[in-house]
Chain A
């Protein structure tokens, strides 16, 4: 089974641009998490999809962040418009068996200039 994959691995954007990050969860999983990781805040949950329905939208991130899970094999995270403070590593994850742990993708490092 393939694990969680994310593309691109690195993204550089100008302030005000729209960027779309992509994630393919573990095959057959309909649940998916999006996180943001920074040195100051650590890992912060952005979104949670259960059976492809958005259950958690990360409160503080609602304004410019939009996650979608169009089918069980693909999810996107759109940031519009980007700001320099969005520079971070964005991770997506699939839940493990029993839903205790989560399995993470390699992440996308976003730099906003």
Chain B
């Protein structure tokens, strides 16, 4: 089946430092899955951070970027300068069309990011 592997946390960085959270995927059900990053801030629900549905494209939001790399099956999340408010749990996810007519999401286990002041 489909699977997503991401950096095992917690990841600790200082404010204004750069960040990369690795994500690689294995899509057995579809050649070109949709790729997503979701985030859960403390006390809040899971929310979409960014998505890319076309291989080779880059998605960006709130200073975060991720590029859909079909050759390396990767979708790493990067930010040039993190802020304390970026402390959260980040989930990489793969979306693939399912027989039942929905886009089935397969999530990684999540990466806890702690940004120190």
Contacts and interface: CB of A to CB of B under 8 A. Distances in A.
A45 B45 CA distance: 17
B44 A106 contact: yes
Interface in B32-57: 34, 36, 38, 44-48, 51, 53
Interface residues on A, range: 20 to 34
A74 B101 CA distance: 21
Contacts of B45: 4, 91, 104-107
Interface stretch (B60-68, B77-85, B106-114): B106-114
Contact of B95 (A33, A45, A101): A101
Most chain B CB within 10 A, of A4, A43, A103, is at A43
Interface residues of B, number: 23
B104 interface: yes
Contact of A100 (B34, B47, B98, B100): B34
Given A48-B100, A100-B53, A101-B95, A43 B47 contact: no
A30 B98 CA distance: 18
Nearest to B110: A42
B107 A103 contact: no
Interface string A58-81: 000000000000000000000000
Interface string A35-65: 0000000110100101000011000000000
Contact of B100 (A43, A56, A105, A107): A56
Contact of B107 (A43, A50, A96): A43
A24 interface: no
Interface of A: 4, 31, 33, 42-43, 45, 48, 50, 55-56, 91, 95-96, 99-107
16 contacts: A31-B102, A43-B91, A43-B107, A48-B100, A50-B100, A50-B101, A56-B102, A95-B103, A96-B48, A101-B34, A101-B51, A102-B103, A102-B105, A104-B46, A106-B44, A107-B46
